[in-house]
Structures are given as C-alpha cells and as structure tokens.
Chain A
C-alpha cells in the first residue's frame, strides 16, 4: 500500500471579479511507504494547495487523495499523519507542553505513553526549558520546532511537512534534516515541500517539481544527480614541464607540482588510460555536475 496516493487532483479558486484560477491541475502522484519525497516548486506553484487538499483543509475541484488507503475526506485518514503546516501557528495561550498533550489526546494516545513521548519530542527539539511558558512568547524558530514536535508526538507512519526548514537557523535546519533521515531509517514516509533544493538533495529519495499547478517532473534524486554529471576536473602530479596533453586534452591550470585538467564524461576513459600508461599520479578527481538547483531552474524557466 502506498503511503499517499493522489489521483487527478485539481483545485480551482475563484478570485476577484469571479476569475477562475487553476491552483492545481490534475495531479497524479504516489508516495511509497518508507519513501522520502521532496516537493519542489517556486512560490505560488501549488505546493501548499496540494498539501492542504491532502490534509482535508481544502476541497478538491476534482480528483481524490488517499493516505494509507483512506480517503482524505474522512478525518480517520489523518490518524496516520504528522502534519506541519507552512508558517505554523498554535494556540498561543497554551504552553508547548500543553499543546503537545492536546495533540496527542486527539490521536487517542495512552496517557502514560503521551507523557513519555511529549518529554522525548520536547527534549529532541530543544524546547524542554521553555515547555511551561505560553507560546505567545516563543520565537519563530521555536514555533516551527513546536510544529515538528506536534507532528512527531504520535509517531505516525506518514509525515507531511510544509516548508519544514522555514524560519530555522542553521542548527535548526540541521536538526530537521537529522530528524527526516532518522524517520527514513525507521521506514517512515515523508512528503515535504520546499523551494530550497539543497534540502531535497541531502535527504530525499525522490523529488517532484511543480510549476504553475502542474507536476512537470518526478525522478529519483540520485538519477537526477547522476544524469547531471558533465565531466571531471582531474588533478595530476606533474610539473609544468611534464604537463603534456592527455588524450588531446590540455591542462587548464598548472602549479609547480600539480596540473589541472577538465575532462568531459565522454573523454574520461581515454584520458585516464593515457594517464595510467605514462605512470602519472592522480592527486584528485572532482565531479563537475549540474546540481538539483540547476535541474530545478531548467524546469522552472
């Protein structure tokens, strides 16, 4: 069973002067169990609309979505989900501890387990010291961490995170990445939206790119990265006098003891064969590739 199944999901909003706006157009997407899926797209592309439709906050114009086999129009479908909204806000008159307990109660958690899990997530997200204070005094980063804590507390199978790194400092971002990788190791499914490609590259199995309400690409991150390899920069131990062309490729730069060559993928084997034949030492091989950001930008443009 897929963690999330989205079939022909569309959403049309009616704007000012009754103008129809297609926020999402016929989205088909499956997230497998245990998969980390990054949902990339520029601002206003339809990422949050998709997530709100899956969470039952919006009603689809057409199409359907299921979480762990349950239609999202049923509140029970959300028992298996930990959801972090975009720029979350929580009852600010409650403390983090009270709010996490409230959330756990909605998931019908056993009180002893809830107490233990509340303590665990608050410690993990570095909110333990602030747990008794009303959230109206929290910083934006702390609220974001409360959002993650309330998504984690009931240990669901599926996580839907809308811009989870937003508003976090580098330490917080690293923490979120750690948490996602930990969830991955535990076989959980994570569907998260972002417009920061680096987040996706580091943690995701697959990535989908949405532009103007249409899913324009879905692929495995590793295959995008592999297909994006354009060539190599190879550093050879050779003095200026010894730095000859290999397989017809001239050195780009030369220092006293090291010469640097740019070798395209197609010429790599021939270049390395000649280097081996001459007995020249290889100091360093650097991969030159288009990264996920280039891939994303090529799709968006």
Chain B
C-alpha cells in the first residue's frame, strides 16, 4: 500500500491543476492589508481571512482530488495495468485515499504555517485586544483538514460507482453543504416550535439524513480560533473518533462497491 500512497502523492504534486490551485495561496500576501481596512480587530480579521482561505483551498483540493483521482485512473485506462498487479482493489482504493489524505494534511501544514506568519505579522502591526491562542489556531486548521478529508472520502465513494466525475463532484458539494447544517437542523427539530411546525414524516426523514450524512459542524473551530475561546478536549476527542469511524465506514462501503466494479 505504501507504494500506492507514494505514487498518488507524486501524481498530485506533479499535476498542473494542483499547482494552479496552490497558486491561489498568493492571496495570503494580501490578507494583512485587507485586514487593516477594518480599522479595528485587524488581527481577528487576519485570522478569519487566513482560516477561510485555507478552508477554500482545502475544499477545492478535496473536490478535485477526491472526485477525479479514481475517475481519471479508469478513464485513462491506468486501472487495467494497476489493478492487474497482485494487489486487491481495497488496497488500491485505501492507498489512494491515504495518499490524498496525507497530501491534504501536508497542504494544511504548509498553508497553516503561511497563515501563522501572516497572523503574526498583522498582530505585530496591530496588537490585538485579546491574546492569540496559537494552539487553537493550529487545532482549528487540523480539524478543518479532517473535515475536508471526509469530503475526499465521500467523493471517492461516489467515484467507485460513477462513470463520470459529475456524481462525485456534485455529490461531494451537496454532502458538504448538507453536512455543514445537519446539526442546526437536528437541533431545530428538537425544539418546541419545530414539534408543532414540522410533520412527523419530515422530522423522521431529517433525522435519517442527520445520521447518514456527515456531521461537519464539530470540525469547525474557526470561532474558537478567532476569539481565543478555549477548546473542549473531550469534544475534540469525540470528533476525532467520529472522523475515524465515519471515514472507515465510507471506505468500507467504497471497497465493497469497487471490488464489484467491472473494468471494461
């Protein structure tokens, strides 16, 4: 599996689309001057913009890599040569996923380092009213990466059954959008007003989706990072466990489907 991971990483780093996406990181250079326009809370705005830029870049990469990696291998007939090697399709799929996941973490590390430099620069020029919790910013970036790794897993799962990249791309975008709000929807459905306003059928359907779709709200720690709010360690631990379990289930389903796929 190690060589599949290694080959996947090489493929991503040598891809011109990836290089183009990473070129967007140049926007980090504009963050200090853009944040200074706020006049107040310049550091807080630098943190917001930095974390948002990281999120956007990781999201684009997750869609691009998760949706196109397997599709491209099939479309360009690479699978005929690779899947005829003595490795199982599960090894191939999981190896590809680990390669992309590792790449996402490395990218988050790189972008995180750049954003810390940018935030530091802003905080030196415009000292913030509250102390910056650097560890919270780092944890926030790490959890952001985990969130997008789940999106990679969703896109790869869809790619195992799809013959084009439309389903993986749009399926992953829809899952991301739905996964970001499932917690709020669930909490609303538990409220008294929802008990009266929403029918049982809709409530049960929403609950079903709540359990099926990924709950991504737990991975969003931007507010903690921006306003230096201390993190709840047991909550973080639960989120990490959720990440491993949910990703594991997606990969297991993906492996079963991919094992059955015909390479015509």
Tell me the bound Cα distance from A147 to B80 in angstroms.
11
Query: In the complex, what residues of B have CB within 8 A of residue A106's CB?
Result: 3, 85-87
Is A268's beta carbon under 8 Å from chain B?
no
Query: In the complex, what residues of A have CB within 8 A of residue B84's CB?
Result: 55-57, 78, 81, 83, 85
Complex: chain A residue closest to B88, CB-CB: A75
Query: In the complex, what residues of A have CB within 8 A of residue B77's CB?
Result: 85, 87-89
Query: In the complex, what residues of B have CB within 8 A of residue A92's CB?
Result: 76
Most B C-beta atoms less than 10 A away, residue of A56, A77, A87, A147: A56
In the complex, chain A residues 79-112 whose Cβ is within 8 Å of any chain B Cβ: 79, 81, 83, 85, 87-94, 98, 102-103, 105-107
Is B187's beta carbon under 8 Å from chain A?
no
Asked if residues B264 and A58 are in contact (CB atoms below 8 Å), the reply is yes
Is A288's beta carbon under 8 Å from chain B?
no
Asked if residues B260 and A59 are in contact (CB atoms below 8 Å), the reply is yes
Tell me the bound Cα distance from A286 to B3 in angstroms.
57
Q: Whole-angstrom distance from the CB of B8 to the nearest CB of chain A?
A: 10
Asked if residues B11 and A93 are in contact (CB atoms below 8 Å), the reply is yes
Tell me the bound Cα distance from A283 to B11 in angstroms.
66
Q: Whole-angstrom distance from the CB of A24 to the nearest CB of chain B?
A: 13
Asked if residues A89 and B76 are in contact (CB atoms below 8 Å), the reply is yes
Q: Whole-angstrom distance from the CB of A86 to the nearest CB of chain B?
A: 8
Q: Whole-angstrom distance from the CB of A16 to the nearest CB of chain B?
A: 14
Tell me the bound Cα distance from A134 to B11 in angstroms.
11
Most B C-beta atoms less than 10 A away, residue of A58, A81, A102: A102
Query: In the complex, what residues of A have CB within 8 A of residue B40's CB?
Result: none
Tell me the bound Cα distance from A56 to B83 in angstroms.
8
Given A59-B262, A89-B76, are A147 and B81 neighbors across the interface (CB < 8 Å)?
yes
Interface size class of B (residues with CB under 8 A): 20 to 34
Could you give, for residues 222-264 of chain B, a 1 whenever the CB lies within 8 Å of some chain A CB and a 0 otherwise? 0000000000000000000000000000000000000010111
Q: Whole-angstrom distance from the CB of A58 to the nearest CB of chain B?
A: 5
In the complex, chain B residues 51-82 whose Cβ is within 8 Å of any chain A Cβ: 76-81
Asked if residues A89 and B86 are in contact (CB atoms below 8 Å), the reply is no
In the complex, chain B residues 1-58 whose Cβ is within 8 Å of any chain A Cβ: 3, 7, 10-11, 14-15
Tell me the bound Cα distance from A88 to B10 in angstroms.
20
Is A150's beta carbon under 8 Å from chain B?
yes
Query: In the complex, what residues of B have CB within 8 A of residue A107's CB?
Result: 85-86
Q: Whole-angstrom distance from the CB of B78 to the nearest CB of chain A?
A: 6
Asked if residues A52 and B11 are in contact (CB atoms below 8 Å), the reply is no
Query: In the complex, what residues of B have CB within 8 A of residue A88's CB?
Result: 77, 80-81
Interface of B is mostly: loop
Is A182's beta carbon under 8 Å from chain B?
no
Asked if residues B7 and A94 are in contact (CB atoms below 8 Å), the reply is yes
In the complex, chain A residues 56-86 whose Cβ is within 8 Å of any chain B Cβ: 56-59, 75-79, 81, 83, 85
Could you give, for residues 39-60 of chain A, a 1 whenever the CB lies within 8 Å of some chain B CB and a 0 otherwise? 0000000000000100111110
Query: In the complex, what residues of B have CB within 8 A of residue A52's CB?
Result: 80, 263-264
Query: In the complex, what residues of A have CB within 8 A of residue B14's CB?
Result: 93, 134
Asked if residues B83 and A57 are in contact (CB atoms below 8 Å), the reply is yes
Tell me the bound Cα distance from A93 to B17 in angstroms.
13
Complex: chain B residue closest to A13, CB-CB: B264
Asked if residues A91 and B78 are in contact (CB atoms below 8 Å), the reply is yes
Complex: chain A residue closest to B260, CB-CB: A59
Asked if residues A85 and B10 are in contact (CB atoms below 8 Å), the reply is no
Asked if residues A85 and B86 are in contact (CB atoms below 8 Å), the reply is no
Asked if residues A90 and B86 are in contact (CB atoms below 8 Å), the reply is no
Tell me the bound Cα distance from A150 to B84 in angstroms.
12
Complex: chain A residue closest to B89, CB-CB: A75
Complex: chain A residue closest to B75, CB-CB: A89
Q: Whole-angstrom distance from the CB of A106 to the nearest CB of chain B?
A: 4
Query: In the complex, what residues of A have CB within 8 A of residue B76's CB?
Result: 89, 92
Tell me the bound Cα distance from A150 to B82 in angstroms.
11
Asked if residues B11 and A91 are in contact (CB atoms below 8 Å), the reply is yes
Tell me the bound Cα distance from A301 to B93 in angstroms.
45
Query: In the complex, what residues of B have CB within 8 A of residue A75's CB?
Result: 86-88
Q: Whole-angstrom distance from the CB of B69 to the nearest CB of chain A?
A: 11
Query: In the complex, what residues of B have CB within 8 A of residue A79's CB?
Result: 86
Asked if residues A93 and B80 are in contact (CB atoms below 8 Å), the reply is no
Tell me the bound Cα distance from A175 to B263 in angstroms.
30
Asked if residues B262 and A85 are in contact (CB atoms below 8 Å), the reply is no
Tell me the bound Cα distance from A81 to B83 in angstroms.
13
Tell me the bound Cα distance from A230 to B78 in angstroms.
48
Tell me the bound Cα distance from A134 to B15 in angstroms.
12
Contacts from A to B (Cβ < 8 Å):
13, 52, 55-59, 75-79, 81, 83, 85, 87-94, 98, 102-103, 105-107, 134, 147, 150
Give me 30 A-to-B residue pairs in the complex whose CB atoms sit less than 8 angstroms apart, sorted by A's number: A52-B80, A55-B84, A56-B84, A57-B84, A58-B263, A75-B88, A77-B86, A83-B81, A85-B77, A85-B84, A87-B77, A89-B78, A89-B80, A89-B81, A90-B78, A90-B81, A91-B11, A91-B78, A92-B76, A93-B14, A93-B15, A94-B7, A94-B10, A103-B85, A105-B3, A106-B3, A106-B85, A106-B86, A107-B85, A150-B81
- 5 further A-B pairs in the complex, CB-CB below 8 A; given A57-B262, A91-B7, A105-B3: A57-B80, A59-B260, A81-B84, A94-B11, A103-B85
Which are the 5 A-B pairs with shortest beta-carbon distances? A57-B263, A85-B80, A78-B86, A89-B77, A93-B14
